[in-house]
Amino acid sequence: MLNDEGWVKSTCAYCGVGCGIEARPMITGKLDIRGDKDHPSNHGKLCTKGIALGDTVIEDGRLLMPKMKVDKQWQETDWDTALDQVAQQFSKTVAEFGPDSVAFYVSGQLLTEDYYVANKLLKGFIGTSNIDSNSRLCMASSVVGHKRAFGMDTVPVCYDDIELAELVILVGSNLAWCHPVLYQRLRVAKQANPNLVVVVIDPRRNESCEIADLHLALNPGADVALFNGLLHYLSKTQQLDASFIADHTNHFSEALEAALQEGDVSYITGLDEQTLAGFYETFAKTDKVLTIYSQGVNQSTQGSDKVNSIINCHLAMGKIGVPGCGPFSVTGQPNAMGGREVGALANTLVAHMEFDNPKDREAVATFWQTQRLASKPGLKAVDMFDALASGKIKAIWIMATNPVVSLPNSAKIKQALLDCPLVVVSDCIADTATTRCADIVLPAQGWSEKSGTVTNSERRISRQRRLMASPGLAKPDWWILSQVAQRMGFKEAFDYRHEGDIFREYAQLTGLNNDSGQRDLNLTGLANVSDEEYQSFQPRQWPVIEDQGVSQNRRFFEDKRFFTANHRANFLAVQHSAPKNPLSKAFPLVLNSGRTRDQWHTMTRTGLSSRLAEHTPEPYVLINAKTAAAFSLHPDALACIRNQHGSCFARVVLSESMSDNEIFMPIHWNDVTAANSKPCVLIASDTDPVSGQPEFKYTPVTIAPF
């Protein structure tokens, strides 16, 4: 995909919008970057992070060679020695303690082909499902919500629905900073159509409120009550779509009963009756409603129920499967969706096939030609690291992620890794909080060096292409995994020439046990792409089914046929529950956490760009003037934020965007980029009981001048 002027098409390294880029090497060795006008997801637009991609090619601090710790000292080694060691030690652990004694912790930064090989090796050949992704921290609650409502993890809408909607509701989503190109699209749509109403539902008056007609500053964690109140209102005012409910759904009466039994919605949400009624009537009276939600919904001990409370309201009015309408989970990472699809979450098998379906298991075992296929779900991220801490897991391989910084209760994560007999880390960065805990480190290629596919939030598969040579001995993750698999004795099953071989195998697998379209994820139309077609692959949404020839950008559109047993969507009976850790006299403030506009995760890449650093140069804590005064804090001074789990430091920034007794900290800074400024040290490892997603939005803390 090299054009006459030397531009190569690829995709951005960051968020789940999945913008297409074009890149061209410059004489300086850096990359010139521009938006890809032909990419249907962004039409050439990029945000500040995307524009600065050329500044953030990681050169310094790269992991250049495999290294092993010998007598607590790092020794560089060659690939053969390192791969033999990893294979031998994993094989030995499995032989001695069984398959469930090992685990892989992977990442939404991996490409789909990497994910596929990791999942195949662990679930198919080692025989355990202890593989989970850092995407668990990002959108696992949406996966549960989709599966419970639609019978499958399907995103029913697409980006084009933004222009077609008449009401866009942003719930727990600061789209302006976290998915900027989608936000710009929404802003332009609103300029073109002044009747388009935008509602922001968030405890914080976040940056997306700039274009909002209404901001509902609800109490943290009160989303289920808010949407149950909406369901109640729709019933009370007889504005339900009775025929849609009767013809296309199950369990409506149970969901309505739960909504009717909900507590005092005004009290729980902190919103007055008039404001609630105004929002509810706007929802009821508008034909085309798009509800976009993100981490503010998902990252909660009640995240799955929050998702279903939103979907319930869309089902109650038939606002789904219609252009401009539907619930829309936007993902945080560039390939969180690809991981969901190939099964790199502990609770799914592969390609939306499930452990509890014997036909799925049999079909996959036959396809992979294995006798060792795992038969049950494995440990989700937080449980996996608990098992590591208790000694049940004795060998872990961490790929392209930094759990010591990003998981809750980071001190415990670090100690668990230090105590684990074998920690293998593949990464492109030499020194991270996690590589410091490793026994073996393997140099992986980074963005701009590796090649494969990613899927964005609207189910669009795009190519990431190799733009430049990788430094040292860095290799693709799929290659490293395949080499280890072959050394563990699974030679033929992992004999791939390049990533195109893996993509074809995965596409073929999506057709297993799927003759009558039981599953939505179907890429069989791509199962025979030639190497040349794979190289020149144009972005397209799944499903891609041979006899249809074209992908379908909306789901449940024509026939309203869902993927449940009777093809009807499920309402779910849900009710508000209070956050697991209540405020107390000792810890009277709610800590909320999230992203800033110009940084990404733990800043290993975006931290390299001086122009990105200008936006938010240092860790900060947002607090309103009244709460700051109550805690004797002064603007621009340093504050210490602490609770029973730990403490960290940040600069005080006064902001009337914050409600009383609530504070906000960005997640990016860590103990490599700034001493002890990571909110993860304060966050408990409480999770949603169904999705396993941790609570990052409601942490009781106190604050004091430093």
Q: 15 vs 87, which CB is nearer to ligand SF4?
A: 15
Restricted to residues 517-576, the positions that interact with ligand SF4 (CB under 6 A) are none
Minimum distance from CB of 667 to ligand SF4 (Å)?
15
Q: Are 485 and 119 in contact (CB under 8 A)?
A: no
Q: 410 vs 541, which CB is nearer to ligand SF4?
A: 541
Taking CB under 6 A as the binding criterion, the range among 44-52, 158-166, 289-297, 487-495 that sits at the site for ligand SF4 is: 44-52
How far is it, in rounded angstroms, from Cα 490 to Cα 599?
A: 41
Minimum distance from CB of 21 to ligand SF4 (Å)?
7
In this structure, the number of other CB atoms found within 10 A of the CB of residue 238 comes to: 8
Helix, strand and coil percent figures for the chain, each rounded to 5: 35, 20, 45
Minimum distance from CB of 360 to ligand SF4 (Å)?
33
Q: 46 vs 102, which CB is nearer to ligand SF4?
A: 46
Going by C-alpha positions, the residue among 556, 559, 575 that lies closest to residue 314 is: 556
Residue 542, SS3 per DSSP:
coil
Q: Are 427 and 446 in contact (CB under 8 A)?
A: no
- Residue of 8, 15, 315, 474 interacting with ligand SF4 (CB under 6 A): 15
Q: 177 vs 280, which CB is nearer to ligand SF4?
A: 177
- Residue of 8, 9, 10, 12 interacting with ligand SF4 (CB under 6 A): 12
Q: 443 vs 446, which CB is nearer to ligand SF4?
A: 446
User: At a CB cut-off of 8 Å and minimum separation 6, what does 331 contact?
Assistant: 15, 16, 108, 135, 138, 139, 142, 294, 337, 456, 457
Which helix (H) or strand (E) segment holds residue 642: the answer is strand 638-643
Minimum distance from CB of 406 to ligand SF4 (Å)?
18
Q: 14 vs 496, which CB is nearer to ligand SF4?
A: 14
Q: 46 vs 234, which CB is nearer to ligand SF4?
A: 46
Q: 546 vs 614, which CB is nearer to ligand SF4?
A: 614
Restricted to residues 350-379, the positions that interact with ligand SF4 (CB under 6 A) are none
- Residue of 18, 124, 338, 511 interacting with ligand SF4 (CB under 6 A): 18
Note whether 139 binds ligand SF4 by CB under 6 A.
no
Segment 482-486 long-range contacts (CB within 8 Å, at least 24 positions apart): 482/117, 483/79, 483/83, 484/83, 484/86, 484/87, 484/90, 484/121, 485/117, 485/121, 485/125
Residues in the chain, how many? 706
Note whether 337 binds ligand SF4 by CB under 6 A.
no
User: At a CB cut-off of 8 Å and minimum separation 6, what does 649 contact?
Assistant: 619, 638, 639, 640, 641, 675, 676, 677, 706
State which amino acid sits at residue 145.
G
Q: 12 vs 350, which CB is nearer to ligand SF4?
A: 12
Minimum distance from CB of 338 to ligand SF4 (Å)?
14
Task: Enumerate the H helices of 273-380 as residue ranges.
Answer: 273-285, 295-298, 303-316, 336-342, 358-368
Taking CB under 6 A as the binding criterion, the range among 17-25, 189-197, 229-237, 617-625 that sits at the site for ligand SF4 is: 17-25
Taking CB under 6 A as the binding criterion, the range among 15-23, 277-285, 515-523, 611-619 that sits at the site for ligand SF4 is: 15-23
Minimum distance from CB of 335 to ligand SF4 (Å)?
11
Minimum distance from CB of 339 to ligand SF4 (Å)?
16
Print the binding letters for residues 46-85 with ligand SF4: x by CB under 6 A, - otherwise.
xx-xx-----------------------------------
Whether the upstream peptide bond of residue 543 has omega within 30° of 0, thus cis, is yes
Restricted to residues 23-42, the positions that interact with ligand SF4 (CB under 6 A) are 42
Minimum distance from CB of 35 to ligand SF4 (Å)?
8
Print the binding letters for residues 464-503 with ligand SF4: x by CB under 6 A, - otherwise.
----------------------------------------
Minimum distance from CB of 157 to ligand SF4 (Å)?
18
**Which residue is at the shortest CB distance from ligand SF4?**
50
How far is it, in rounded angstroms, from Cα 655 to Cα 663?
A: 10
Paired sense of beta strands 569-570 and 249-250, if any = parallel
Q: 457 vs 677, which CB is nearer to ligand SF4?
A: 457
The DSSP secondary-structure symbol of 155 reads -
Q: Are 20 and 39 in contact (CB under 8 A)?
A: yes
Q: 50 vs 579, which CB is nearer to ligand SF4?
A: 50
How far is residue 687 CA from its own chain's centroid? 15
User: At a CB cut-off of 8 Å and minimum separation 6, what does 682 contact?
Assistant: 591, 641, 642, 643, 645, 646, 647, 648, 699, 701
Restricted to residues 153-192, the positions that interact with ligand SF4 (CB under 6 A) are 179-181
Q: 14 vs 562, which CB is nearer to ligand SF4?
A: 14
Minimum distance from CB of 49 to ligand SF4 (Å)?
4
Q: 53 vs 502, which CB is nearer to ligand SF4?
A: 53
Minimum distance from CB of 187 to ligand SF4 (Å)?
13
Minimum distance from CB of 11 to ligand SF4 (Å)?
7
What are the backbone angles phi and psi of residue 642, rounded to the nearest 5°? -150, 160
How far is it, in rounded angstroms, from Cα 356 to Cα 377?
A: 9
State which amino acid sits at residue 59.
E
429, β-bridge pairs: 62
Q: Provide the token pair at 560.
A: 């309203």
What are the backbone angles phi and psi of residue 69, rounded to the nearest 5°? -90, 125
Restricted to residues 640-669, the positions that interact with ligand SF4 (CB under 6 A) are none
Minimum distance from CB of 439 to ligand SF4 (Å)?
34
Q: 47 vs 663, which CB is nearer to ligand SF4?
A: 47
Q: 49 vs 120, which CB is nearer to ligand SF4?
A: 49
Q: Are 371 and 362 in contact (CB under 8 A)?
A: no
How far is it, in rounded angstroms, from Cα 128 to Cα 595?
A: 34
Minimum distance from CB of 137 to ligand SF4 (Å)?
18
In this structure, the number of other CB atoms found within 10 A of the CB of residue 296 comes to: 27
* Binding-residue total with ligand SF4 (CB under 6 A): 14
Residue 493, SS3 per DSSP:
helix
Minimum distance from CB of 13 to ligand SF4 (Å)?
7
Note whether 19 binds ligand SF4 by CB under 6 A.
yes
Place of tokens 């430094």: 471
Minimum distance from CB of 604 to ligand SF4 (Å)?
15
Q: 456 vs 570, which CB is nearer to ligand SF4?
A: 456
- Residue of 8, 9, 10, 14 interacting with ligand SF4 (CB under 6 A): 14
Minimum distance from CB of 290 to ligand SF4 (Å)?
18
Place of tokens 């309203």: 560
First vs last C-alpha separation in the chain: 54
Which parts of this chain interact with ligand SF4 (CB under 6 A)? 12, 14-15, 17-19, 42, 46-47, 49-50, 179-181
